[in-house]
Structure 1
Amino acid sequence: MSKGAYYTKEYPNLFAELGISHKQIEKKITETFNTMFFDPKERIYFEMGEDMGYMLDTGNNDARTEGMSYGMMMAVQVDRKDIFDRLWLFSKTYMYQKEGKHQGYFAWSVTTEGKKNSEGPAPDGEEYFAMALFFASSRWGDGLPPFDYSVQARDILRHCIHQSELAEGGEPMWDASNHYIKFVPETPFSDPSYHLPHFYELFALLSDEQDRTFWQEAAEASRKYLRISCDKNTGMAPEYAEFDGTPKKLFRDWQFYSDAYRVAMNIGLDAAWFNKDESLWKIVDNLQAFFSENTALGEYKAYTIKGEPFDEPAMHPVAIIATNAAGSLAATGKYRLQWVRDFWELPLRQGERRYYDNCLYFFCLLMLAGEYKIYM
């Protein structure tokens, strides 16, 4: 089994495997970023005052830690410190919790004026904040607070696993007994799409020294969790799952839905960066085969993880195509390059629901181009 880019410094470029030139790839990345951040009609990034900005969830008209941390990761990947700092300052000013049981966490949703819609955090925001901040520290160096990026990142991770010691009544975001990330700190179940073993491998090198063993164990545990939560035949993961991997009914009857699409993308990036678990490749092979053999491109539904469709269209069909394509970084099946080709030909989503689809679209574009890089 070949080693990942963390070891080799060589990032796989699947577009190049299709014969697409470096110039074409570079142009598409630039145009996609400019549309999402600056196009008057299609952008999801908005500036506030002289030094802040936010990523708008266009379907819900709010700013979320998911989107804010995604925007920061995008900005650090394309070397836009100005945008990164605006997003981070907004997050620290309006989302950061300074007291109470959530002290040290970030409120998962605020209005575009910065008023908290909820006090509680969403752990996928914290893990992306921390990784983006570590990368920023490496690319640009630490500045004065709150732009002392690595200090901020380590503080976030400290709270993620030691919250019960740091805030009265607080709950950690990771379960201490199994090393699984929780859906929210107070819940004894998970969200498979939150599991980012490739991030935890790096946290094991960059976090507080006493916590590094925990993060290494979390990386191994998350790969195991993906194996037990994804269906053996379809490769589908549920949006929410118990710690034993069985689907958890929370907000709706269907299981393979919006959050769950990210699992294929995450497996792909883990393979590109570390490639430590080839048993995960089969998950993507099965997922790609299910969609290629049972549905027309883009005509997707909500499903059980067994692939049984509901009479409910997928809210984010562009995201399904993008993430299944990014899964090709791990896939070995016969549909591997067809998904990459279909994604290359796919335009950004337009309209009210463009936020989630296009965030995943841009990440997948970077991954497949070999341009989603580790900065250490």
Structure 2
Amino acid sequence: MTTENKGAFYTGIYRNLFKENGYSEDDITAKIENTWNRMFHGDDEMRIYSEVGGDLGYMVDTGNIDVRTEGMSYGMMMAVQLDKKEVFDRLWKWTMKYMYMTEGENAGYFAWSCGLDGSKNAYGPAPDGEEYFALALLFASNRWGDGTEEPFNYSKQAKDLLHTVIHKGEKDDGYPMWNPENKLIKFVANCEFSDPSYHLPHFYELFSLWCYPEDSAFWKEAAHASREYLKIACHPETGLAPEYAHYDGTPNHIRGFGHFFSDSYRVAANIGLDYEWFRGSEWEIENANKIQAFFSDKEPEDYRRYTIAGEPFEEKSLHPTGLLATNAMASLAADGPHAKENVELFWNTPLRSGERRYYDNCLYLFALLALSGNFKIWFPKEK
């Protein structure tokens, strides 16, 4: 593989698709700063972050009025990418104070939902939070250095978590978050099916480098397993993935989650970022093109729930801004006729306001970072 065909992990070069499409550096920088400020420090119609006391903060799911590990880990990743250490530390301290579980079968994991006052709404974890926590902590360690006191000894916190999620249940109660045989992430720890949007092979590649040495081989195998899994979970014609899927890739229709809906949107984004960082596979180019082609004749105000074969339901998308943001992020991999128009559509779409803004705008900021070349791998500093 020649240098120009390698991902940013190897070259340190990140594509700026906005600049490629003619937008100025000043406008791009201003858009990122404005988006961060409105989401984290804006008015009540836009802000999803709140500070508590002198050293705590949380991200609120505005549609459900709770705090989720998804949002907290997303906020931490946004903060480390944008060099916002105070916000990062506030979020992490709140997470450890209220969400971390120290007893029962889920000890070592985080309660996936809490009230705004920190009271636990549930005592089960959601693995997408744990994987984002782990990489955000590793990036924090690499970018800012470890603190001397818990919980700000970032790298140890990350390594311990990465060990727990694959070894839980071997010597104590509970279940691992990854199936130990097939190396696939589970929807929740005590079940045996997956969520395609949880699959982050580009994260696992980095986990394999910075985890405890005894866990490295597992994470390297998990990266390969996830890339192969996405090939069988995404529909061969539309490229769409279900929200829940069995280990053989077929949709899992438990509770009606075997179709393309809110969780599924993230698959396009994950494919785009894996291709940008690692050039995961040529299949990622093909699938990104298929997803963008499927939506090319659809207007965002008419986005719906779909079967993975592309048949629409009457039910409208709950998060159309999030969907168009992830479709734009797929342009990091796509080389088809719709890649440029998806970036332009995203650029010209404002942040979402109102009660359902949380999920849409989290995906929006991630897409903004990725498409501007600012969703970066933070390596350890040379000593």
TM range (shorter): over 0.9
Which runs of no fewer than 5 residues in structure 1 stay unpaired? Answer: none
Q: Does 1:352 align with 2:339?
A: no
Q: Does 1:150 align with 2:155?
A: yes
Residues 29-88 of structure 1, C-alpha deviation per residue, up to 9 Å, x if partnerless?
000000000002210000111110000000000000000000000000000110000000
Report if aligned partners of 1:298, 1:321 keep a CA contact under 8 Å in 2.
Answer: no
Q: 1:75 corresponds to which letter in structure 2?
A: A
* In 2, Cα distance between equivalents of 1:212 and 1:198: 14
Matching residue of 1:123: 127
* In 1, Cα distance between equivalents of 2:111 and 2:123: 5
Aligned-residue offset at 1:251 = 2.5
Matching residue of 2:220: 216
Q: 1:83 corresponds to which letter in structure 2?
A: V
Question: TM-score scaled by structure 2?
Answer: 0.96
Number of equivalent positions: 374
Matching residue of 2:62: 58
Matching residue of 2:339: 336
* In 2, Cα distance between equivalents of 1:18 and 1:142: 38
Aligned pairs (5 A) from 1:132-211: 132-143=136-147, 144-166=149-171, 168-211=172-215
Matching residue of 2:310: 307
Residues 219-278 of structure 1, C-alpha deviation per residue, up to 9 Å, x if partnerless?
000000110000011110000000000000122266100000000000000011000311
Report if aligned partners of 1:11, 1:272 keep a CA contact under 8 Å in 2.
Answer: yes
Q: Does 1:250 align with 2:254?
A: yes
* In 2, Cα distance between equivalents of 1:363 and 1:298: 21
* In 2, Cα distance between equivalents of 1:253 and 1:135: 33
SS of residue in 1 equivalent to 2:313: strand
SS of residue in 2 equivalent to 1:180: coil
Aligned pairs (5 A) from 1:232-311: 232-252=236-256, 255-293=259-297, 295-311=298-314
Q: 1:164 corresponds to which letter in structure 2?
A: G
2:92 to 84, 88, 98: 88
Residues 295-320 of structure 1, C-alpha deviation per residue, up to 9 Å, x if partnerless?
22332010100010111000000011
RMSD: 0.9
Report if aligned partners of 1:298, 1:318 keep a CA contact under 8 Å in 2.
Answer: no
Matching residue of 1:373: 376
Aligned-residue offset at 1:139 = 1.0
Matching residue of 1:6: 9
* In 2, Cα distance between equivalents of 1:251 and 1:156: 30
Aligned-residue offset at 1:100 = 1.2
Question: TM-score scaled by structure 1?
Answer: 0.98
Report if aligned partners of 2:366, 2:375 keep a CA contact under 8 Å in 1.
Answer: yes
SS of residue in 2 equivalent to 1:370: coil
Residues 134-184 of structure 1, C-alpha deviation per residue, up to 9 Å, x if partnerless?
000011111111100000000111110000125x32100000111000000
Matching residue of 1:361: 364
Aligned-residue offset at 1:110 = 0.3
Report if aligned partners of 1:35, 1:43 keep a CA contact under 8 Å in 2.
Answer: yes
Matching residue of 1:325: 328
Report if aligned partners of 1:254, 1:310 keep a CA contact under 8 Å in 2.
Answer: no
Q: 2:255 corresponds to which letter in structure 1?
A: F
* In 2, Cα distance between equivalents of 1:161 and 1:104: 11
Spell out structure 1 runs of 4+ moving beyond 3 A. Answer: none
Matching residue of 1:316: 319
* In 1, Cα distance between equivalents of 2:258 and 2:211: 37
* In 2, Cα distance between equivalents of 1:348 and 1:213: 40
SS of residue in 2 equivalent to 1:311: strand
* In 2, Cα distance between equivalents of 1:296 and 1:31: 26
Q: Does 1:114 align with 2:89?
A: no
